[in-house]
Amino acid sequence: MASPLHQAKQPVSLLAGTYGHPLHPILVTVPIGAWVTSLIFDVASRLVHQPGFLSQGSLWLIAIGVFGAFAAAAAGFLDLFAIPTGTRAFRTALVHMSLNLTVTVAYAIGFAWRLGGYHHPGMVGAAQLALSAVSLAVLAVSGFLGGKLAYRYGVRVADETTQAEGYILSDAFDQPARTRSGDSS
C-alpha cells in the first residue's frame, strides 16, 4: 500500500492530469483572470461617461469565470480523491473546495442579478460591485489554501527524487558556467 504522501501525488484519473502535471492549477487561471478583470470593469464603469460596454463586458467575464470554475472544480475534485482522508491536507482541501464553491455560487448569483439590465446597461451598482469584491477576496483566501496544498503539502506535485532530475548538471551545461565565472583550466 502506498504511503499517504505518495498517494496524494498520484492522479486518480487521467482527467486530472498526469503525474507531476495536474490540470487543476492551469484551469483555475480562467475564473481568476475573468473575475479579476470583471472587477476592474465594474470599477471602470463607475468612472466613465458611457459605462454600458464595461458593465456588459463584466457580465460576460463573470459568465466565463463561472464556466471556467466548473472545469477547474472538476479537476480539483479528482485531485481531492487522491488525498487521504483524516489528514491536514484533506481538511485544507475541503475548506479550499468549500470556499471556491461559495465564490462560484456568489458569481452565478451576481450574473443573474445583472442579466436583467443587460439591454439597458449603466454603471455597475454599488451592491453588485461589493459582491464581486468580497467574492474576489474570498477567492484570494482560497487561493492561499490551494498554494498551501501544493507548496507545503505537495499535493499532486512530483516527489523529490523526480524533482531532483531537474538539478543534475550535465557536462554540456556545466562547462560554459565554469568558463563564464573565470575558472578556466
Question: What's the pLDDT score for residue 157?
Answer: 79
Q: Rounded mean pLDDT of the chain? A: 86
CB burial class (10 A; 0-12, 13-18, 19+) of residue 110? Answer: buried
Tens digit of each residue's pLDDT (9 = 90 or more) over 27-43: 999 999 999 999 999 99
Average pLDDT over every residue of 162-185:
63
Say which residue the cell 459568465 belongs to: 63
- Does 50 map to a domain? yes
Q: Which segments within 61-144 are labelled E, that is strand?
A: none
Question: What's the pLDDT score for residue 120?
Answer: 84
* C-alpha to C-alpha distances, 150 to 51, 123, 146, 176, nearest whole angstrom: 40, 39, 6, 34
With contact defined as beta carbons under 8 Å apart, do 168 and 129 qualify? Answer: no
CB contact set of 126 (below 8 Å; sequence gap of 6+): none
Neighbours of 154 (CB within 10 A): 16
Rounded to whole angstroms, the Cα distance separating 70 from 179 reads: 51
Question: What's the pLDDT score for residue 9?
Answer: 64
* C-alpha to C-alpha distances, 131 to 100, 141, 168, 182, nearest whole angstrom: 15, 16, 49, 59
Question: What's the pLDDT score for residue 172?
Answer: 61
For residue 180, what pLDDT band results from cuts at 50, 70 and 90? very low
- Does 185 map to a domain? no
Nearest to 56 by CA among 123, 104, 10, 5: 123
- Does 47 map to a domain? yes
Q: Which domain holds residue 138?
A: 4-180
DSSP 8-state secondary structure symbol assigned to residue 152 = I
With contact defined as beta carbons under 8 Å apart, do 156 and 8 qualify? Answer: yes
Q: Is the pLDDT of residue 163 over 90?
A: no
Structural domains in the chain (count): 1
